[in-house]
Amino acid sequence: MQKLKKGKIKKTNLYESLSEERQEILSRLKQHNWFNNSNDNIKAELFSLPEDFDGYLVDLALRKDEFGNLEILEIEKLGIGYYTVITIFKVRSNLNNEVSTYEYVSGKYGSNPGYRGILFLEVNNKIRYFILKRSEKFAFGGEKTFDSLGGFILYKHGQLANLPIKVEQEIKRQLGLKNIVIKRFIDLGLMSPDSGMVNTRVSLFGATMSIDEPEELKKLDNKTITSTKKISFELLILPIDRLNEYIQKVDDSYFLACIARLANVGVVKI
C-alpha cells in the first residue's frame, strides 16, 4: 500500500514485485483449481513468505488436484513458523461427498531439506569407531537424546547440490575442526520420518575418515561443544563393537535407518 499526497491509498499488486523464480512458482500454482479457489489473503500470505521458503512453495505447486478419493478444494488456513509451515486444505470425498479438512507439515526448504548420517573412524583401513551426538532437544522440552550428524541445506532449484561436500562442511562446522577430510562417502538414499503428517524426505549418508586425520579429533570424545550450534551438544566417539548396544539405546530414526542400510550393503555388521 502506498499513500499519495492527497491522502488517497493506492493499492499495489503483490505479484508485480515477485522475483523471476516466484513468478515461475506462481504460474505453476495457477494451474491448480485449489489454488485459484483459495482466499486472496491466503495467496498473499504465501507470496509474502521469505525467499528461503521457496522450497516449500515449489513442493506445494507439485501437489495434485485429486488423489486417494479426495478432491482438493482450496487452502483454508496456513500456520507459519520459522522453520515449518502447516498447510490446511478443504477437501471433498469422492465416496460420500463429505467436505472436511486435511493438513500436512512441510519444512521451509521443501520436502528434501537436508541430510543426516553417521561418521565412522578408520584405523588401518578398518572401521573402529563411530560418532554420535547427545543433546537436549527443544521439541522434547529439554529431554536429552542421542542424535546423528547432519543439518539443513538451503533450497537450490529443488535439489541438494554436491551433497558429500556439504556433509564435510557441516561436520567441520559442528565439530569446530577445519582439517577433516572425508575418505569415503556412502549415499544411503532417502528416508521419510513420518509420511502420514510430514512431507519430508531426508538424505541419509555414511562417511569414513582416518583417526589420524586430524589428531585433535581424539580430544573431542565426551566433550561438550557450545560454539557451533544454538543448543550445545556432547560428542561421543564409541568403539564399533558397542554398535549393537547403541542400536538399542538410540531412538533417533535417522541413525537407525542409516545402520540398517549400511548393514544391508555390508559396511557394518549387526
pLDDT score of 25? 93
Q: Is residue 204 included in any domain, yes or no?
A: yes
Of 237 and 253, more confident: 253
Give the 3-state secondary structure of residue 54: helix
Q: Is residue 269 included in any domain, yes or no?
A: no
What pTM did the predictor assign?
0.77
Q: Which residues contact 12 (CB under 8 A, 6 or more apart)?
A: 1, 2
| Residue 161 reports pLDDT greater than 60 | no
Q: Is residue 95 included in any domain, yes or no?
A: yes
- How confident is the model over 199-228, as pLDDT tens digits? 988 889 998 887 665 455 555 555 554 444
| Residue 65 reports pLDDT greater than 90 | yes
From residue 42, alpha-carbon distances to 30, 86, 92, 229 in Å are 14, 13, 19, 34
Q: Is residue 270 included in any domain, yes or no?
A: no
- How confident is the model over 114-157, as pLDDT tens digits? 788 998 988 888 898 898 888 887 777 877 888 888 776 654 54
Q: Which residues contact 98 (CB under 8 A, 6 or more apart)?
A: 92
Of 152 and 51, more confident: 51
* C-alpha cell read off for 263: 548393514
The backbone torsions φ and ψ at residue 92, rounded to the nearest 5 degrees and listed phi first, read: -125, 135
pLDDT score of 72? 97
Amino acid code (one letter) for 89: F
Give the 3-state secondary structure of residue 42: helix
**Do 103 and 229 belong to one domain?**
no
Q: Is residue 10 included in any domain, yes or no?
A: no
Residue where a domain stops, chosen among 84, 107, 130: 107
Residue where a domain stops, chosen among 64, 85, 107: 107
pLDDT score of 7? 40
Q: Is residue 8 included in any domain, yes or no?
A: no
Give the 3-state secondary structure of residue 159: strand
Structural domain span for residue 48: 15-107
pLDDT score of 258? 95
CATH of the domain at 155: 3.90.79.10
**Do 148 and 102 belong to one domain?**
no
**Do 76 and 22 belong to one domain?**
yes
Of 55 and 165, more confident: 55
**Do 35 and 169 belong to one domain?**
no
Residue where a domain stops, chosen among 82, 107, 132: 107
| Residue 12 reports pLDDT greater than 60 | no
Q: Which helix (H) or strand (E) holds 57?
A: helix 54-61
Answer yes or no: are the C-beta atoms of 68 and 120 closer than 8 Å: no
pLDDT range class, residue 178, cuts 50, 70, 90: low
**Do 214 and 175 belong to one domain?**
yes
Q: Is residue 2 included in any domain, yes or no?
A: no
Most confident of 3-7, 10-14, 213-217, 239-243: 239-243
Q: How many domains does the chain have?
A: 2
Q: Is residue 4 included in any domain, yes or no?
A: no
**Do 30 and 100 belong to one domain?**
yes
